[in-house]
Structure 1
Amino acid sequence: MKNLVQIKLMLLFVVFSASAQQEKGIIGTSNWLNNWTEFKPAKVEYNETNQILYGKITTNTTLYKKNTYLLQGPVYVTNNAVLTIEAGTVIKGDYETNGALIIAKGAQIMANGLETDPIVFTSNRPVKKGGDWGGIVILGDAPVNKFGGSSSLNFELDPSQTIYGGVNSQSNSGVLRFLRIEFAGKKIKGFKDYNALSLASVGNKTVIENVMCSFSAGNSFEILGGDVVVSKLVSLRSSGDDFRFTQGVQCKMDNSIAIRHSLYSSSTRSRCMNIASYDKKEEADFSKNMTNVVATNCTLVNSTENLSSDIASGLVKESIFIGNNASFAIKRSVISGFNPAAILAQDVKLEASTFKKIKFEETYFNNCKGNIFVENSTNNEDLEDYYGNNSFFNLYQNTDNTEMFLDIYNTKNNPDFRIKISKITASNSK
């Protein structure tokens, strides 16, 4: 019996050690942020615009790299048209007219950039700031959990062109690949903003990978309903949420990163991930899917160099917020530099059904002032005991960013947010 116990303990140690040493956060044999991303977009100069886009695009249309385009007001791609954008094309959103691009339900965008020649959406102002223009909106006919199975996006746009929702989870709204969206998030009436990229009822045949949203005054990525698979998304210094999921979206997100900074976060919305099943409970159809997000090999990082003082000043909030009735799983990921790492809505009950829906596994909690809490509660012993169990292989450490990441503060080339494997050791200290 004694030998059997010893064997079990040895196996547990081997499994735990292997899990502790495997790669967490964004991964790759090389830095996949190279070539196509831009971490100082305000300093990049583009050619003057020589083509204007306005009104509705109702027939198949191609935008060419040789031109530089201006979105004047909201531009709708409608009537089942396909908008094709050549690799390397630059499109500017007009500040004065709230330039935006809306891909209506049934239409498609084929924005297939290259790693060495990305497509860029940016501001037309000489001194660029977040909120200079609207953003990109893609509307599909995949399911949404609102009553009636459809809704309309309330961005002060044409209601007839912003309807989304249906029954086709496998619908195809096109391709977004090697694409940057800079300085979007124009304010609309009061507190509401555009998002850099809004995906509403987008289906899983749509390709969304290698997309970077920088300095958005709203959310970087907002996904409302639909069934989406996304990879290598980058959110840089968003004022709102980096990734917001709601209205019953079924999402698998892989190898993606949210890079926050204390001084760029909104005072009320500073989350890397905001997971909710509905915007208003009375509008949700509970016979339909609630939001379910699975995030794998993701990095959520506060890149400030003054973390302790920023936390003391109240500038740092939680990294993840999970609403009631939503399901969320994060695996092999990194959460670094937040206060705390994650918060569950106050109406989430700590019971078996909840723990089946909310999972933190093989995740590296680093430099967080607290790990997982229920909203408006300072006692998180039950959550610490549960998610701190060895079977989940979560790690708790306090390692400086310069020691944990390969090259986070590179000022000449793109930073490298992959972690140094040698710095991860098996640790359960909380």
Structure 2
Amino acid sequence: MKKITLTTLLLFVTLSSTFAQQEKGIIGFKNWLDHWTDFKPNKAKYAKPTQILSGAITKDTKLYKSDTYLLLGDVFVTDSTTLVIEPGTVIMGDFKTKGSLTISNGSTIIAEGKSTDPIIFTSNRSLKKPGDWGGLFILGNAPTNTTDSNTILNYGLNANDNKNISYGGDNPESNSGILNYVRIEYAGKRTKNHGYFNALTLAGVGSETSFENVMITFCEGNSVAVYGGEVTLNKFVSYKSSSNDYNVNYGAQCKITNSLAIKSPYVSKAESSRCLYVLNHDSLESTDLTKTATTVEASNLTLINISSDLDYDIKIGLVNEAIYIGDEVSFTIDKSVISGFNPAVILDNTIKINNDNLNKLVFTRNYFNNCNGNIFTKYRNNNDDLENWYGSSSFNNVYSKGPDSETFIDAKSSSRPDYRLRINRIVASRNE
């Protein structure tokens, strides 16, 4: 009887620790990064392209695992066409022509891979580098807050008709398809007049579109850009991108759950690289303030800056804030981990610190670790008002100074890292 009781007790303690371990940051009883992700994509070897995709795809098309595809220049899926991609298919963006793929408004992509057989978008170069090719654009019919209901996606894409690069409309529930178990590697080409491409651009995309298990690696531009629309991103990974990991703007209604952003000070661009960069507009002149403002609801995120000498990297200006929030934005983040930034959060200096605005910017049950300051207003040296507000026990935020080795289960593995939070660090550091 004693043996059975002891076994039951040990099982209870183990399960209790497992449940507690999932409280903050990314969750999962198993490391959901296993199998389908690749943190060393430069080691992968793929077959040479056997099929070329170019120009416009105007009839329903399926891409097969048995072939390798090359995006030659700017490729558009148009005329209410559906593009289906089989699990395990490899699509390469051409380096010379800076290949890209655009799913135009009204068309659909069904890219549903498997955990054991993900769909891969990558560079066609043998020695791959960030910015080798363009990226993936998905354009939909959901609302934005711009004055023009049909906005042109201005990245210098070579479209025969502007309708193929326009987005926005009046259907927040529109469906542009599925991305599941998809990797996008080495995207983010630089253009002469329009800056860097994003690896994945979701413009005016509606809520019926499904996004889950997507990994973006070594992008020269932003990893994910959400321009208007209404989307949920679940189990997303942005790994060592040069610019922002998640860029949200133009009245987007965006939920981000159980997702990762892993930054490196030796890769990130100075002054323009955050995990979350959330704005309501670029300019008031092009914004209809009567329309819905940008709203972000984030939960169980892990935002981590990996550094071998964080204090030195901060001192020489290699580390930025994790989150930047512009005016008119509603932003909530809950049960998340923010580790190794300078500081954790910056609010735009146009945001007045009053009850109305603070009630739109909510930080609850988060774990701030190893950050050089927590929540600041841009250009202000004194942030006592914000520290007092968000440091209140009612928000239940936790503050700690712990190394990555003691904070995460295994942040050092180069092939199969585990960025779930260690339970002992939370309990030891709770501020109650």
Same fold (TM over 0.5): yes
Cα distance between partner residues in 2 of 1:349 and 1:261: 32
Structure 1 residue aligned with 2:306, among 296, 303, 308?
303
Secondary structure of the structure 2 residue equivalent to 1:425: helix
1:148: Cα distance to partner?
A: 2.8
Write out aligned runs for 1:332-371 (5 A).
332-371=335-374
1:306: Cα distance to partner?
A: 1.5
Structure 2 residue aligned with 1:418, among 417, 420, 427?
420
In structure 2, the residue matched to 1:154 is 154
Q: What amino acid maps onto 1:124 in structure 2?
A: N
Cα distance between partner residues in 2 of 1:128 and 1:87: 23
Cα distance between partner residues in 2 of 1:230 and 1:171: 16
Asked if structure 2 preserves the Cα contact closer than 8 Å seen for 1:20 and 1:393, the reply is: no
In structure 1, the residue matched to 2:204 is 201
1:312: Cα distance to partner?
A: 1.2
Write out aligned runs for 1:34-183 (5 A).
34-157=34-157, 158=159, 159-183=162-186
Cα distance between partner residues in 1 of 2:261 and 2:123: 21
Cα distance between partner residues in 2 of 1:388 and 1:244: 27
In structure 2, the residue matched to 1:7 is none
Deviations 1:243-295 (A, max 9, x none): 00000000111000000000010112120000000122210100101100000
Cα distance between partner residues in 2 of 1:258 and 1:279: 24
Q: What amino acid maps onto 1:417 in structure 2?
A: Y
1:79: Cα distance to partner?
A: 0.3
1:425: Cα distance to partner?
A: 2.6
Q: What amino acid maps onto 2:221 in structure 1?
A: G
Cα distance between partner residues in 1 of 2:429 and 2:330: 27
1:24: Cα distance to partner?
A: 0.4
Cα distance between partner residues in 2 of 1:392 and 1:148: 39
Secondary structure of the structure 2 residue equivalent to 1:424: helix
Q: What amino acid maps onto 1:218 in structure 2?
A: G
In structure 1, the residue matched to 2:292 is 289
Secondary structure of the structure 2 residue equivalent to 1:35: coil
Deviations 1:10-42 (A, max 9, x none): xxxxxxxxx997610001010000000000111
More displaced, 157-166 or 77-86?
A: 157-166
The percent of aligned pairs where both chains have the same amino acid is 49
2:210 counterpart of 1:210: no
In structure 2, the residue matched to 1:396 is 399
Cα distance between partner residues in 2 of 1:93 and 1:43: 17
Cα distance between partner residues in 2 of 1:104 and 1:96: 23
Secondary structure of the structure 2 residue equivalent to 1:353: helix
- Structure 2 residue runs without a partner (length 5+): 1-18
Asked if structure 1 preserves the Cα contact closer than 8 Å seen for 2:22 and 2:421, the reply is: no
Asked if structure 2 preserves the Cα contact closer than 8 Å seen for 1:21 and 1:425, the reply is: no
Cα distance between partner residues in 2 of 1:103 and 1:314: 38
Secondary structure of the structure 1 residue equivalent to 2:201: strand
Asked if structure 2 preserves the Cα contact closer than 8 Å seen for 1:183 and 1:217, the reply is: yes
Aligned structure 1 segments of 4 or more residues deviating by more than 3 angstroms = 19-22, 426-430
Q: TM-score, normalised by structure 2?
A: 0.93
TM-aligned CA distance change 1:27 to 1:429, over 3 Å: closer
Asked if structure 2 preserves the Cα contact closer than 8 Å seen for 1:397 and 1:429, the reply is: no
Cα distance between partner residues in 2 of 1:344 and 1:79: 42
Asked if structure 2 preserves the Cα contact closer than 8 Å seen for 1:229 and 1:253, the reply is: yes
Q: TM-score, normalised by structure 1?
A: 0.94
Cα distance between partner residues in 2 of 1:248 and 1:233: 21
In structure 2, the residue matched to 1:28 is 28
Asked if structure 2 preserves the Cα contact closer than 8 Å seen for 1:20 and 1:362, the reply is: no
Cα distance between partner residues in 1 of 2:185 and 2:363: 31
